[in-house]
Chain A
Amino acid sequence: MNKQWTIEDLKLAFPDPAFQCRMAMFLAISHEERISAVERAIDHVAQNLNRTRQHRQHKNEDLLTTDIVTSLKDMGFQASHDTDVGGHCDIVIEGREDFLWLGEAKTHSSYDWLYKGFQQLSTRYSGGMPGQEAGGLIIYCYNKKVLEMMRDWQTHLIERRDDVKISSCALSKLAFRSTHAHDASGLPYMIRHMPVPLYFEPQDKVARSKDRAQTTSRRVARKKGAQ
């Protein structure tokens, strides 16, 4: 007889986040649940990018975004890169019942650059229709202290857009959400602003080479003293 796999059995058998993301998506019965599944999947991919950031120091935005899209497709999401939706959107995730989640990826260089991404997402790519009321601004950060940068970005956004409401994100301490009335549909449009920390400046070798330099200079000093 076939085993009856319960939700609990599946969760216990597959504790890995990538499995959980797949399950969350195919068990979703509302757009709200689909948005949550997409966000969890992107967070999981972002964790992997961060874990292997030493190999991603010279990658441009497009290559990093392609990595995200490839991982999402591996999980069974209908994800694509550079799909034409009012322009070439970085990440497009389509789903049943007109579900559409759009993501714009930007490497942080200035807050105006991030604001451009915010505007592209909310005024160019998204139509703000039902089922399409959420998106994400994915921020590749090569600088230190991402939390501070995200706080500054939040302040910058509020200064530029007084119609935007900010809320915290329960999924990640580094991310936040903004909501505003979509220009086209008038429905609330929610953008999750999420950083991908990629700063990589290991100090162990610096310390070792400093040690080496100090040892050498001590040796030189001793030699000079002996002469």
Chain B
Amino acid sequence: MLSADELKLKINRIWGVAPGAMLSLRIIDFLTSVPSEQLSMLTFGNLCRVVGKPEPDKDLLTAINILVSSKVQVLETHMLFIDDNKDEHEIDLKDLQETRRSGVFIHPRTGEMINNFEAHFVPFFVPSQSLREGN
């Protein structure tokens, strides 16, 4: 497992000082400075606050891509379904994959088919196992 410093060096080696890479380093600093119980759900809104932006932009999306998709694997993507009553349900990733494939989403509690489910899906991120173990 790589430590936070080693992860940051790796990002720096691959992406240099590109704005998205610099934001990803700031997010790693945040993740390693806050108690893990406060990191159970990082939404886009939370990450904007961490990097001091009023709303997501291209650099934040790049930073998230670096942290989630590359081999550094600092964050993991999860998905929340918020229904019309504002009740929140975390979606199992396998169900999410099936939903994307079929284009059909069934409410996990009521069994009702949800039209325009992307308007109810809120992505969020959690620190990966490797980040937790490396620090």
A residues adjacent to B (C-beta < 8 A): 2-8, 10-11, 13-14, 18-19, 22-23, 25-30, 33-34, 73-78, 80, 94-96
- With contacts A30-B97, A76-B63 taken as known, whether A18 is within 8 angstroms of B69 at the C-beta atoms is no
For this complex, 16 residue pairs linking A to B, each with C-beta atoms less than 8 Å apart, are A2-B43, A2-B49, A5-B123, A6-B121, A7-B119, A7-B122, A14-B56, A19-B58, A22-B61, A26-B65, A26-B69, A33-B100, A34-B69, A76-B69, A78-B70, A95-B70
Which listed segment binds A: B1-9, B14-22, B32-40, B106-114? B14-22
Per the bound structure, the CA–CA distance linking A28 and B69 in Å amounts to: 8
Which residues of A sit under 8 angstroms from B118, Cβ to Cβ?
6-8, 11
**Complex contacts, B28 vs chain A, CB 8 Å:** none
Q: How far is the CA of A4 from the CA of B43 in the complex (A)?
A: 7
Which listed residue, B56, B65, B100, touches A10 by the CB 8 Å rule? B56
Report the tally of A-B residue pairs with Cβ distances under 8 A.
108
Does any Cβ of A come within 8 Å of B73's Cβ?
yes
For the complex formed, measure the closest distance between the CB of B105 and the CB atoms of chain A, giving whole angstroms.
11
Q: Once the chains are docked, how many angstroms separate the CA of A5 from the CA of B118? A: 10
Is the beta-carbon distance between A27 and B77 smaller than 8 angstroms? yes
Instruction: Please pick, from A5, A13, A22, the residue contacting B65 in the complex, using a CB distance under 8 A.
Output: A22
Which residues of B does A touch, CB under 8 Å?
14-15, 18, 20, 43-46, 48-49, 55-56, 58, 61-66, 68-71, 73, 77, 82, 93, 96-97, 100, 116, 118-123
CA distance A95 to B65 in the complex (A): 10
A74-B20, A76-B62 known; 13 new pairs, CB 8 Å cut-off, are: A4-B122, A5-B43, A7-B119, A7-B122, A7-B123, A10-B44, A26-B65, A29-B93, A73-B15, A73-B18, A76-B15, A76-B69, A80-B14
Q: Report chain A residues within 8 Å CB of B45.
A: 2-5
Q: Report the minimal beta-carbon distance from B23 to chain A, rounded to whole angstroms.
A: 10
A41–B48 Cα distance when bound, in Å, is: 24
Nearest neighbor of A20 in chain B, beta-carbon distance = B61
